[in-house]
Amino acid sequence: MEAENRKCVMILDEELPAGVLANAAGILGMTLGKQIPEVIGPDVLDKNGREHLGITAYPVPILKADKEKLRQIREQLYQPEFAECVAVDFSDVAQSCRTYDEFISRAAAARGEDITYLGIGIWGTKKQVNRLTGSLPLLR
């Protein structure tokens, strides 16, 4: 798929405190970057010849939603019609763990309906991403 037909967004729980919002966005961004490394542009040099590592070549709007809307979007992303989207979520299960092993264990024991999503990152076609998120406002 052509790069100009792609879109990346993050949707965060509008009720979270600023520190948790920032943490969730950072985690979502790192995971999306791992899954789709081609979105990261080349390193650049400033006028003094100092290197600055490449950042995303795409804008990443940060949208807001309530917990129920986040759950609905996450469920939609499991449907076959959105199989080509890259979706990453950050949940209360992950946020409450001190180690990754604990996260693995607690996630395996959690029923999907018991998970509360703090944020979701999505990469896909503009059409699909807009279909999922087009009515959501920006987080301000």
pLDDT in tens, 85-140: 999 999 999 999 999 999 999 999 999 999 999 999 999 999 999 999 999 999 99
Q: Could you give the 3-state DSSP secondary structure of residue 97?
A: coil
CA atoms lying within 13 Å on the CB side of residue 82: 22
CA dist 120 and 12 (Å) reads 7
Q: Which domains does the chain carry?
A: 2-134 (3.40.1490.10)
Give the alpha-carbon dihedral of 54, 17, 111, 71, to 10 degrees.
-80
pLDDT at 4: 76
pLDDT at 137: 98
Q: Could you give the 3-state DSSP secondary structure of residue 118?
A: strand
Closest CA to 9 of 116, 138, 118, 140: 138
The one-letter amino acid at 96: S
Tell me if 87 sits within 8 A of 127, measured CB to CB: no
In this prediction the pTM is 0.91
